[in-house]
Amino acid sequence: MRWLTECSVDTVRDALRVVAPGLAELPITLPDLVGRDEPLWMASSAAVGEEFVAKVAWSAPAARRLAHEIGVLTALSVPFMPEVVASSTEPVLLVTRRMPGKSLFAVVDSIDRDHAGRQLAQFLVALHDPSTRAAVERALGPLPAPRAEASTDEIRARLGRWVRPDQHAAVTTWCAWADEVLAEPRPSVLVHGDLHGDNQVWNGDRLSLVVDFETTSAAEPEYDLRAFPSTGPDCELLTATTQHYEHLSGRSLSLDRIMAWHLRTTLDDLLWRSEARVPLPGHHSPTTWINDLTTRFAKLQIGP
């Protein structure tokens, strides 16, 4: 497996000449790469002309993640998948067709959440079907576990300096509750692993694509819905998606477990961003994030 020496227009163009020669002379636009110092995240997507997107990597850990995504996309057959135009591991490069649309975050407040939830449930039910995992594992071998997040012990020990004392007390109670809820493991399925709004392309109220399968792994179904409580107003998208999921699949989902994963993921994100001095999305403060968590627990009437 060979990866790029750096992320530049010239190196991307050289890789395209090898993998997709017909695209190599199109204009190439790279995003701002400030902060890409950690080898695991030395990957990016370049716009190639107006119709294509090329994903590249310039470190060994990032290349392994991208090679994993290439293998997953080759083996998967579920709705709302990107169209693979070309792929290679010599060099590591993935080219997909660009689709017009916006992030779910940009449209969720203006679309019908029930209609959106139905489409997301269609994707998740197909992805979580046992036959889907079997097909991917036949091609790639056993799926890995999801990326490790901060443990609840680490959150309790390190988050206090960033929030009010009363909020830290609430965090301590929430973490104990989450530990109890997740203490008993559940059967795992193939999960996307990072299904937040920016990894979805929406054309109005229609889901066009789900992207970024680098973190596809094996976990319980609830793990894939952990970003939904904070997407859209009043947890409506979460409620709609779970209801349609249960109707389509005949399998129940645990809101307690979804919220326990949501809590851990949210606090992990809050912790590393605060310690790294990286702004929280929307430039909110840590105290605002804790207040928002309190509101979500109250809205769903679950939690400690």
pLDDT tens digit string along 255-292? 999 999 999 999 999 999 999 898 998 778 999 999 99
Q: What percent of the chain has pLDDT over 70?
A: 99
- Give mean pLDDT, residues 155-167: 95
Which pLDDT value is given to residue 304?
Answer: 83
Report the chain's mean pLDDT, rounded to a whole number: 94
Which pLDDT value is given to residue 263?
Answer: 97
Alpha-carbon distance of 87 to 34, in angstroms, equals 26
What tens digit of pLDDT does each residue of 176-191 get? 999 999 999 999 999 9
CA angle 150, 154, 156 (to 5 degrees): 120
pLDDT beyond 70 at 36: no
- 285 CB-near residues (< 8 Å, 6+ apart): none
pLDDT beyond 90 at 33: no
- Where would I find the beta strands (DSSP E) of the chain? 28-29, 43-48, 52-57, 84-89, 92-97, 102-103, 189-191, 200-203, 206-210, 217-219
Which residue, 294, 290, 11, is CA-closest to 159? 290
Which residue, 124, 260, 263, is CA-closest to 190? 124
Neighbours of 76 (CB within 10 A): 17
pLDDT beyond 70 at 168: yes
In sequence order, the β-bridge partners of residue 97 are: 52
What tens digit of pLDDT does each residue of 86-140 get? 999 999 999 999 999 999 999 999 999 999 999 999 999 999 999 999 999 999 9
Q: Which two tokens stand for residue 52?
A: 């294509």
In sequence order, the β-bridge partners of residue 144 are: none
Give the type of residue at 138.
R
Which pLDDT value is given to residue 60?
Answer: 95
Which pLDDT value is given to residue 281?
Answer: 86
Q: Which two tokens stand for residue 251?
A: 């399998």
Alpha-carbon distance of 202 to 101, in angstroms, equals 5
Query: CA separation (Å) from 213 to 76, 97, 134, 146?
Result: 10, 15, 17, 12
Which pLDDT value is given to residue 141?
Answer: 96
Query: CA separation (Å) from 43 to 4, 21, 239?
Result: 10, 21, 34
Which residue, 215, 202, 223, is CA-closest to 119? 202
Residue-level length of the chain: 304
Report whether 236 contacts 146 (CB < 8 A).
no
CA angle 140, 144, 145 (to 5 degrees): 155
Alpha-carbon distance of 79 to 126, in angstroms, equals 8
pLDDT beyond 80 at 34: no
3-state secondary structure of 260: helix
Alpha-carbon distance of 93 to 3, in angstroms, equals 8
Which pLDDT value is given to residue 127?
Answer: 98
What tens digit of pLDDT does each residue of 110-119 get? 999 999 999 9
**Residue 105 is inside which H or E element, if any?**
helix 104-107
Alpha-carbon distance of 30 to 54, in angstroms, equals 10
Alpha-carbon distance of 166 to 300, in angstroms, equals 22
Which pLDDT value is given to residue 147?
Answer: 87
